[in-house]
Amino acid sequence: MGVFVSKRVEIEALPWDGSEAGAIGIVAWAAANDGKVFYDAHLSPPKLSVVTLEGEMTASPTDWIIKGTEGEFYPCKDSVFQRKYERKVDGDAGTQG
């Protein structure tokens, strides 16, 4: 057994604020990047679904939708996202992961 540290990786992500407008933006972004994210406004509460490598997952308001290093999409809880990622500053070689 050993101790390991995450490698630095760069990802793209958008937060979902729970709004229909926010969901539509995420759906369009994912579709433009060959991702499958669906929004159903007819459900109560409305549902944002993300097709991941492991199957379909439901995002909650305040979750981030991440496009991973292999082009895959998945939701991530805000608390995990804030712990794991920081915004890339222009000129940085990467982000912490």
**What is each CA distance from 31 to 21, 26, 28, 37, in whole angstroms?**
15, 8, 5, 7
Confidence at residue 65, expressed as pLDDT on a 0 to 100 scale: 98
Confidence at residue 96, expressed as pLDDT on a 0 to 100 scale: 45
Confidence at residue 4, expressed as pLDDT on a 0 to 100 scale: 87
Q: What is the pTM of this model?
A: 0.85
Of the candidates 18, 51, 54, 19, the one whose C-alpha atom is nearest the C-alpha of residue 37 is 51
Residues 4-54: pLDDT tens digits?
888 888 999 999 999 999 999 999 999 999 999 999 999 999 999 999 999
